[in-house]
Amino acid sequence: MYGIFASFRRGSQLENITLHARDLSSKISPSIARILKDAKRTNNGRKHPKISTLQLARTKRKFIQQGKEWPQEPLPPLNLKPYRKGHKWEEAKAARKVTIAENMAKMPQMIAEYREQVRERREKYRKRKDAAKKDPNQPEYVQYLLAKGVRLADIAVKLGTQNKKAKI
């Protein structure tokens, strides 16, 4: 729990809270000031307050129900919370979304280009295969066999020439 009733280890924070309680005591009724003073924890945390947190909450509720003003607890000092740097991907997230949107807009064109390339590759393969079936001595057939990974010596055997210096 933050504020006047919290137990802090650092002396400066405790002093700030104590000073705040003193400032409030001049503005509020003496009975509330006494309650706030008794509810304050000590710096080492071993000595317990005279009024527990639950009792203090009940007293505060009664005062508010009677229409009397209860002082607000001071907020914790902001410099105690460390500044987090964050991650690199968080900084690049917006730019990445823009890039993704641009690429998705180009996607139909990219798919059409890819399909055209595949179509051309298949057409070229079919032409070589058809040419090879017609005449095995044509250079297209040799290129077809080389593309499949057949060795030159095996090609020479297939063409019917045992000599490796056959016209290829």
For residue 9, the model assigns a pLDDT of: 46
Rounded to an integer, the average pLDDT of 134-162 is: 69
> Is 15 in contact with 58 (CB distance < 8 Å)?
no
Angle at 44 between CA 39 and CA 50, to 5 degrees: 25
DSSP 8-state assignment for residue 124: H
For residue 14, the model assigns a pLDDT of: 44
Cα distances (angstroms) measured from residue 166 to each of 127, 145, 161: 24, 15, 7
Axis-axis angle for helices 93-134, 139-148 (nearest 10): 130
Rounded to an integer, the average pLDDT of 102-123 is: 97
Q: Compare 9 and 37 and report the one with higher pLDDT.
A: 37
For residue 160, the model assigns a pLDDT of: 62
For residue 134, the model assigns a pLDDT of: 66
* Residue found under tokens 């129900």: 65
> Is 79 in contact with 73 (CB distance < 8 Å)?
no
For residue 8, the model assigns a pLDDT of: 42
Amino acid at 53: T
**Over 90: is that where the pLDDT of 101 sits?**
yes
Please state, as a whole number, how many other Cβ atoms lie within 10 Å of the Cβ of residue 67. 6
pLDDT (tens digit per residue) in 45-100? 677 777 777 888 888 888 889 888 877 777 667 776 777 888 999 989 999 999 99
For residue 110, the model assigns a pLDDT of: 97
Indicate left, alpha or beta for 35 from its phi (over 0: left) and psi (-120 to 50: alpha): alpha
pLDDT (tens digit per residue) in 135-148? 666 666 777 777 87
Domain definitions of the chain by residue range: 11-80, 88-159
Task: Give percent above pLDDT 90 in the chain.
Answer: 21
Q: In degrees rounded to 5, what are phi and psi of residue 81?
A: -85, 120
13 confidence band (pLDDT: 50, 70, 90): very low
**Over 50: is that where the pLDDT of 132 sits?**
yes
